[in-house]
Amino acid sequence: MEQLPTSPEPCYKIAPAPLRVKELPERLQPREMFRREGAERVGEDVLLALLLRSGVPGVNVLELARAIVQRYGSLTALARASVEELAAFKGVGPVKAQMLKAALELARRIAAEGAAERPAVACPEDVARVLREQARILDCEVFWVLLLDTRNRLLRPPEEVSRGLLNASLVHPREVFKGAIRAAAAAVIVAHNHPSGDPAPSAEDLAITRQLVEAGRIIGIPVMDHVVLGRRTSHGADYFSVRESGLVSFDK
């Protein structure tokens, strides 16, 4: 008996439609994972999916959350994104973008509250701990002054002196010491960030440090250190202490 020819394998294969969240096994649904594991143990994609609440046709909310995490690579990079940039992401839109930005801003303010509890600042690591969270998401240079009492405690949260590419005209001793004089600070520490991530100071950074140290001697409010904040790498810390480096003398 003659066999009928078999149909050739089709060249064009239509992929099955992705499962909606409700169609996923219960153990893989974001709300169930959150309930079972707890907020501290689930991944960023699950937390993000809970904020987004829903996906778009063809992409469920968990896939959307994972795509966003992969797109930005880290929560720090995601926190830097503007509302407009987030809204342009397929499946997000302006309302969800505002919700994401609000959640990230709340996280930043929680970190800032922790830094505002008058901690002792006795070493460069303490300076980095106070400023690290707000510095890491900045895309421009910001210069701060930390006002200290006689017990090396912060008198108040770090004061922003300037924003933009640092130079001696922007970081003037008058602006740096104005708050210190009013608060009767015993000493100050200055700090700024390098958005590039490399905390090594530039020649201009060192020149500014020398200028401020000399002004502090004249005023009677010593500058204890200049700490430059970058990003942590496998090669060392995420900050640079000018005092510890010996590149500028603070004790003359």
Q: What is the pLDDT of residue 15?
A: 47
Contact 147, 159 (CB under 8 A): yes
Q: What is the pLDDT of residue 241?
A: 96
Q: What is the pLDDT of residue 5?
A: 57
The conformation of residue 43, written as its DSSP 8-state character, comes to -
Whether pTM > 0.75 for this model: the answer is: no
Average pLDDT of the residues of the chain: 83
Residue-wise over 133-163: b if at least 16 C-beta within 10 A, else e? bbbbbeeebbbbbbbbeeebebbebbbebbe
Q: What percent of the chain has pLDDT over 90?
A: 37
Q: Please state the rounded mean pLDDT for residues 170-175.
A: 84
The more confident residue out of 140 and 108 is: 140
Q: Please state the rounded mean pLDDT for residues 213-222.
A: 95
Distance of alpha carbon 229 from alpha carbon 242, whole angstroms: 11
Q: Please state the rounded mean pLDDT for residues 168-188.
A: 87
Q: What is the pLDDT of residue 243?
A: 95
Retrieve residue 70's tokens: 């992969």
Contact 176, 161 (CB under 8 A): yes
SS3 68: helix
Contact 137, 105 (CB under 8 A): no
Summarised one tens digit per residue, pLDDT across range 201-215 is: 999 999 999 999 999
| pLDDT classification of 117: cutoffs 50, 70, 90 | low
Whether residue 168 is predicted with pLDDT greater than 50 in this model: the reply is yes
Summarised one tens digit per residue, pLDDT across range 50-70 is: 888 877 777 778 888 888 888
Whether residue 12 is predicted with pLDDT greater than 60 in this model: the reply is no
Distance of alpha carbon 212 from alpha carbon 223, whole angstroms: 7
Distance of alpha carbon 26 from alpha carbon 101, whole angstroms: 29
The more confident residue out of 170 and 161 is: 161
Q: Please state the rounded mean pLDDT for residues 14-29.
A: 55
Report CA-CA distances (Å) from 151 to 17, 32, 79, 186.
64, 49, 35, 9
Distance of alpha carbon 182 from alpha carbon 175, whole angstroms: 12
Q: What is the pLDDT of residue 17?
A: 46
Helix (H) or strand (E) holding 181: helix 173-182
Provide Rg for the chain, Cα atoms. 26
Distance of alpha carbon 79 from alpha carbon 239, whole angstroms: 21
The more confident residue out of 2 and 47 is: 47
CA-nearest of 162, 134, 148 to 225 is: 148
